[in-house]
Amino acid sequence: MADIRITRVFDAPRERVWAAWTEPARIAAWWGKRGWSTPPESVELDVRPGGVFRLNSINDEDGREMPLDTTYRDVVEPERLAFGDATVTLTDLGGGRTEMVFHTTVEMTADILRSARGGLASAFDRLSEQLEPRT
Amino acid sequence: MINQVDDQLSTTFHALADPTRRAILARLAGGEATVNELAEPFPISTQAVSKHLKVLERAGLIARGRSRQLRPSRLQGAALKEVADWVAVYREHWDESFDKLDEHLRDG
C-alpha cells in the first residue's frame, strides 16, 4: 500500500552490519525504538529462508511488550536479508563503509494492528492525540 | 480512542489498497470529475466506478456533489493526511531503530 524506504550509510564493513542483523546478541543491542529494550534471551534467529525471526522488545518505563514473530524469505549473506514485508540490502561502499537500504510495505493488516496496539502504542497514543478533537 | 483511530484507518487503508481506486484518487487530485469522466480511462463500467466511489466516500477520501445527475467527486485531504501521519509513525519507528544500529556499529 504505502512504501517505506530508508537508506543509511554506516561506518562499518558489510560483514559487521550483517552480523548486527543476524546474531542474537548484536540485534538485541539495537532493535527497537528509543525507550525500548530487547532482552537477548528473547531473540531467536534461524537465518535461512523459512526460518523464524523472533524477538520481544519491552518498554523501559511501563513494561509493555512488542513481540516480533516472522520468518525469513530470502537470505543472501552478506548482501540481502528479507523477512516479513521487509527487505534489507547491504552494499559494500569500500573504505569500511556500508550502505543499507531498508524497504517495507505498510498494509493495514491484522498483524500491524496487533503490533500497533502493543508496541507501536506509544507512537499511536501521540497520533490519536493529534487526531482527537481538541477542547 | 485508539480503536476508533484504528477502525477509521482500516477503512481508509482498505479503500487505498485497490489500484483502480488509487488511480481514481490520482485523477481527482487534478480536480473534481463526474463518474463518466472517471470511468473513461478504465476498461470497466460506470457502475463499477460508482462502486469504487462509494468505498472512497465511506473512507472519507472523497466527497460527492449534490447535483443528482452528475454528482462530481472531489478529494478530501483530511483522511489522506491521517494515512500519511500513520506511515510517518511507522517510518519513525525504523528510523530510531537504525539510529541505535548506527551507535551499536560505532561502539565496536
Q: What is the mean pLDDT of each run of 10 residues along chain B (108 residues)?
A: 61 82 83 89 90 92 80 80 74 91 90
Burial of residue A80 (CB within 10 Å: 0-12, 13-18, 19+) is middle
pLDDT above 80 for A118 = no
ipTM of model over 0.85: no
Phi, psi values for residue B105, rounded to 5° = -70, -35
Tell me the whole-structure pTM to 2 decimals: 0.66
Reported as type and span, the H/E element at residue B75 is strand B73-75
pLDDT above 70 for A134 = no
Q: Indicate the residue of A29, A123, A127 with minimum beta-carbon distance to B104.
A: A29
Among the listed residues A85, A117, A93, A24, the one whose alpha carbon sits nearest the alpha carbon of residue B94? A85
Residue A29 to residue B14, Cβ atoms within 8 A: no
Among the listed residues A115, A84, A78, A113, the one whose alpha carbon sits nearest the alpha carbon of residue A98? A78
Radius of gyration of chain B (CA): 19
Q: Indicate the residue of B2, B90, B97 with minimum beta-carbon distance to A32.
A: B97
A32 touches chain B (CB under 8 A): yes
pLDDT, tens digit (0-9, with 9 covering 90-100), for A86-104: 999 999 999 999 999 999 8
Cα angle vertex A30, ends A130, A24, to 5°?
130
Phi, psi values for residue A95, rounded to 5° = 65, 25
Q: Which of B6, B22, B104 to mutate to test the interface with A (most CBs of A within 10 A)?
A: B104
Query: Strand A80-83 vs strand A86-94: parallel, antiparallel, or unpaired?
Result: antiparallel
In this predicted structure, what is the pLDDT of residue B6? 61
SS3 assignment, position B32: coil
CA distance B26 to chain A (A): 14
A116 touches chain B (CB under 8 A): yes
A131 touches chain B (CB under 8 A): yes
Q: Which three-class secondary structure string do you get for chain A?
A: CEEEEEEEEECCCHHHHHHHHHCHHHHHHHCCCCCEECCHHHCEECCCCCCEEEEEEEECCCCCEEEEEEEEEEEECCCEEEECCEEEEEEEEECCEEEEEEEEEECCCHHHHHHHHHCCHHHHHHHHHHHCCCC
Q: Indicate the residue of A2, A4, A126 with minimum beta-carbon distance to B94.
A: A4
Chain B positions touching chain A (beta carbons under 8 Å): 1-2, 5-6, 9-10, 12-14, 16-17, 82-83, 85-87, 89-106
A19 touches chain B (CB under 8 A): no
In this predicted structure, what is the pLDDT of residue B108? 66
d(CA A94, CA B71): 60
Determine contact, residues B77/B6, Cβ cutoff 8 Å: no
Question: Which residues of A fall within a CB distance of 8 Å from B5?
Answer: 124, 127-128, 131
Question: Which residues of A fall within a CB distance of 8 Å from B17?
Answer: 1, 107
In this predicted structure, what is the pLDDT of residue B4? 58
Q: Indicate the residue of B10, B92, B102 with minimum beta-carbon distance to A123.
A: B92
More confident residue, B24 or A111: B24
Nearest CA in chain B to A6: B95
Q: Which three cell numbers stand for residue A34?
A: 528509543
pLDDT interval class at A2 (50, 70, 90): low
pLDDT, tens digit (0-9, with 9 covering 90-100), for A34-55: 899 999 999 999 999 999 999 9
Residue B90 Cα to chain centre, angstroms? 17
Q: What percent of chain A has pLDDT over 70?
A: 76
Among the listed residues B25, B24, B26, the one whose alpha carbon sits nearest the alpha carbon of residue B40? B24
